Amino acid sequence: MQINNVQDSLHEDAWVEHPHGRIFVRTWHPVKGKDGAVAGSPIVLFHDSLGCVDLWRDFPALLSESTGRSVIAYDRLGYGKSDPRSGKPSPNFIADEAETYFPAVCEQLGFKRFIAFGHSVGGGMAVYCAAKFSNACEGLITESAQAFVEDRTVQGILAAKESFKQEGQIARLKKYHGDKATWVLNAWTETWPDPDFSGWSLENVLPKVTCPLLVIHGNHDEYGSLRHPEMIAKRSGGPLRVEIMADTYHVPHREHEQTIIELAKDFIGSIKYIPPDHSRDAIG
């Protein structure tokens, strides 16, 4: 464990062993909890299509200090420091994260309950985790999450694909993903426009989300209109709060970091503990 001098918070790194490869995980602990007295279940971050642990930057440390909780982020297999993947992601890759990889992270890090926070496609993955492990998920935050395949999303991705043809753009990805950078880009830019993926939607899984839910979306999000938070709000099965942010695009936690920290802190602080119903899915 080491101290991050910038935020004066504690973090530790670990590797989760999985049959498909090793998964890199980083956990931040609030300084006030360094004696082991950390309040509540951890917050688990699910990154976006080009993201990884390092691209969350200072946000996890700030979130940990603000809420007094541990914050866990992991590089999905094929991303960041985690082992590479081969082949194109299947059309079920968002649901697969909850079925295949997230349970391994929970088991090997030893936590039974959690709060899920997902950005962009990570928001969809967080929804699936909250639905599958409804007994264990105490709260869910989606930020800029896509709820279905929208023309605006596909057009934004195709525009980004063109921009990555410019000199130096792939090198930026390699800084975070190393030799996996081309795979990371292709996994995003070739999956979403694929006709086999066109019918994907969160519509049927959202009613299985019964925990409190905070939906955050920027009014200028270039990868998804306000139809996405509207669907999440309409179809989810738990207590709901929606925040549509003015003058905000696709990465609110970077564009308006302190605002997102305060929203998350207030939301998490409002969650009331509900005793487990052992007839429902739990981790482990």
Q: How many domains does the chain have?
A: 1
Q: Is residue 163 part of a domain?
A: yes
Work out the pLDDT band at 281, boundaries 50, 70, 90: low
Q: Is residue 283 part of a domain?
A: no
Q: Is residue 185 part of a domain?
A: yes
Q: Is residue 240 part of a domain?
A: yes
pLDDT digits (tens, 9 = 90+) for 231-241: 999 999 999 99
Work out the pLDDT band at 3, boundaries 50, 70, 90: very low
pLDDT more than 90, % of the chain:
86
Strands (E), 65-175: 71-74, 114-119, 137-143
Per-residue confidence (pLDDT) for residue 57, from 0 to 100: 97
Structural domain of residue 73, as residue ranges? 2-270
Distance CA 59, CA 153 (A): 25
pLDDT higher than 60, residue 276 = no
Distance CA 208, CA 238 (A): 9
Q: What CATH number does the domain containing 94 carry? A: 3.40.50.1820
User: Could you tell me the two tokens for 143?
Assistant: 């930020």
Q: Is residue 277 part of a domain?
A: no
pLDDT digits (tens, 9 = 90+) for 5-30: 444 568 999 999 999 999 999 999 99
Q: Is residue 140 part of a domain?
A: yes
Per-residue confidence (pLDDT) for residue 31, from 0 to 100: 81
Distance CA 177, CA 171 (A): 10
Per-residue confidence (pLDDT) for residue 86, from 0 to 100: 86
Mean local confidence (pLDDT), 218-225: 98
Mean local confidence (pLDDT), 135-155: 97
Q: Is residue 284 part of a domain?
A: no
pLDDT higher than 80, residue 4 = no
pTM recorded for the entire structure: 0.93
Mean local confidence (pLDDT), 235-249: 96
CB within 8 Å of 109: residues ≥ 6 apart: 14, 16, 25, 27, 72
Q: Is residue 136 part of a domain?
A: yes
pLDDT higher than 80, residue 2 = no
Reported as type and span, the H/E element at residue 230 is: helix 227-235
Per-residue confidence (pLDDT) for residue 16, from 0 to 100: 98
